[in-house]
Chain A
Amino acid sequence: MTLTSASDAAVAEKFAAIPAMLDRTPALIARGGWLDCECLLGPVDHPFHISIRRGAIVDMTPAPVLMRSWRFAYRASPVAWAEYWQPMPRPGWHDLLALTKRKQATLEGDLHPFMTHLQYFKDLLALPRAHGRETA
């Protein structure tokens, strides 16, 4: 995905591949071994409900889902995701909290699962970056 083609649809396509990428990364699943969580992740307007059990993604469904709850949400602009997933991201676009600081992403809800597994979520959401390197 190029930066100019960054759209909700392009980001959604990348997001849809994350569970399979995680399955191929057992060390990351192991680091999330104590994590059970419902969260909302993705582009601002079209995020996904994601269910995590013992570090693995067991369900991923596009929002909205009627009366489905979540503990925390991390949503970013399509451009932010495209920048974050660059093989060598630019300064200020290279970290989830750099994106919130520059107001390209929002973090909402009960942040406890996010903060207890902060590196897990950083690495989980960076999987398309690593995947891009593998296929480059």
Chain B
Amino acid sequence: MNGAIEPMVGRYVHVDIGGEDHRIYFEESGAGIPLVCLHTAGSDARQWRHLLSDAELTRHFRIIAFDMPWHGKSNPPESWDGEEYRLTTARYTETILAFCRALKLEKPVVMGCSIGGRIVLNLAIEQPREFRALIGLEAADFQAPWYDTSWLNRPDVHGGEVCAALVSGLIAPQSPKGPRAETLWCYKQGGPGIFKGDLYFYRVDGDLRGRIEGIDTTACPLYLLTGEYDFSCTPEDTVRTAAAIKGAHVTTMAQLGHFPMSENPAQFRTYIAPILNQIRLDQIRKHSKSDSKSDKQGVTS
């Protein structure tokens, strides 16, 4: 291992969001179908590092993970004056679309976890034709709250400690010690009030009940996967959500919790690799169909 250099490369891209320049940090690896990965509330794109290092998957996918503004190495915009950070559905959607446009990604696959999974549902509602496929991890149209988010940002409680301790129970007991600690470390490092502000989207602004029924999976395939140990977004929440969407694929992942890609990357791979392979095969079939169609047109014209 000594001297081994991982394949992903990190860079900054300037993205216009809401008319203002944002300096967004992203990491990428591989070539092929663009696959944009969205991190969970209060964390950052480091959660995706194992996928970015996957030699097999990056043969066919250009995997890209970015830190949302206020997260990881994406600073708040210059205009921020310290007012309370609150992520909204509209702002989150705009950020993802703006990032994809800034990198000139053509019909990317988007995979998001937790709040990233919820916003994937909103992308499926509002912009299905912009995407090749959508994957929601730990995603549902709504889930019942299980703690008061005001504990996450107050001067008499250590924000990093309480954020990590709250989400620690969402990790499956089978997940290895190292990845578990690394998953929690990102929570210990989050900016003050940022996890809470992300949960404004999750708890208040992003309730998609009554809107998901209109999702057209023929315009964009939708895959929903939830870990059996996630008691925040439970498998029942995801199955209920999928049942309301014609054509949605749903999977309950054994021995995984709320952070499948970072808490137990090997176990997660057993679920996500076949889905990414399916997306790739669908792409090949689509191309070969359109090729044979244009060949036929060529013969008859």
Stretch at the interface among B94-102, B127-135, B161-169, B190-198: B161-169
User: A94 touching B173 by the CB < 8 A rule?
Assistant: yes
A112 at interface, CB cutoff 8 A: yes
> Complex formed: what's the CA distance from A89 to B169 in Å?
12
Interface flags for A85-99 (1: CB within 8 Å of B; 0: not) read 000110110111110
> Complex formed: what's the CA distance from A108 to B147 in Å?
13
> Complex formed: what's the CA distance from A118 to B164 in Å?
9
A61 at interface, CB cutoff 8 A: no
Range of interface residues on B (Cβ < 8 Å): 20 to 34
User: B166 touching A97 by the CB < 8 A rule?
Assistant: yes
Interface flags for B200-232 (1: CB within 8 Å of A; 0: not) read 000000000000000000000000000011010
- Residue of chain A at shortest CB distance from B234: A92
B151-206 with Cβ < 8 A to chain A: 151, 156-158, 161-162, 164-166, 168-170, 172-174
Question: Knowing A91-B231, A101-B144 touch, does A115 contact B173 (C-beta < 8 A)?
Answer: no
A106 at interface, CB cutoff 8 A: no
Question: Knowing A89-B173, A115-B151, A118-B165 touch, does A95 contact B231 (C-beta < 8 A)?
Answer: yes
A2 at interface, CB cutoff 8 A: no
Question: Knowing A96-B169, A97-B169 touch, does A119 contact B146 (C-beta < 8 A)?
Answer: no
> Complex formed: what's the CA distance from A98 to B229 in Å?
10
Of the candidates A97, A112, A115, the one whose C-beta lies within 8 Å of that of B146 is A97
Of the candidates B151, B164, B170, B228, the one whose C-beta lies within 8 Å of that of A119 is B164
A54 at interface, CB cutoff 8 A: no
> Complex formed: what's the CA distance from A104 to B144 in Å?
16
User: A91 touching B228 by the CB < 8 A rule?
Assistant: yes
Of the candidates B162, B169, B174, the one whose C-beta lies within 8 Å of that of A115 is B162
- Residue of chain A at shortest CB distance from B169: A95
Of the candidates A88, A102, A118, A122, the one whose C-beta lies within 8 Å of that of B173 is A88
User: A118 touching B162 by the CB < 8 A rule?
Assistant: yes
Q: Which residues of A contact B229 (CB under 8 A)?
A: 91-92, 94
> Complex formed: what's the CA distance from A95 to B144 in Å?
17
A7 at interface, CB cutoff 8 A: no
- Residue of chain A at shortest CB distance from B174: A88
User: B156 touching A94 by the CB < 8 A rule?
Assistant: no
A36 nearest CB across to chain B (Å)? 15
> Complex formed: what's the CA distance from A48 to B147 in Å?
25
User: A122 touching B231 by the CB < 8 A rule?
Assistant: no
Kindly name the residue among B146, B169, B174 whose own CB sees the greatest number of chain A CB atoms within 10 A: B169
> Which residue numbers of B lie inside 8 Å of A, CB to CB?
144, 146-147, 151, 156-158, 161-162, 164-166, 168-170, 172-174, 228-229, 231, 234
Q: Can you sample 18 A-B contacts with CB below 8 Å?
A: A91-B172, A94-B172, A94-B229, A95-B231, A96-B169, A97-B147, A97-B166, A98-B146, A101-B144, A101-B146, A111-B151, A115-B151, A115-B157, A115-B162, A116-B158, A118-B162, A119-B164, A122-B165
Top 9 A-B residue pairs of the complex, sorted by shortest distance between their CB atoms: A95-B169, A118-B165, A119-B165, A101-B146, A98-B231, A91-B228, A91-B229, A115-B151, A92-B231
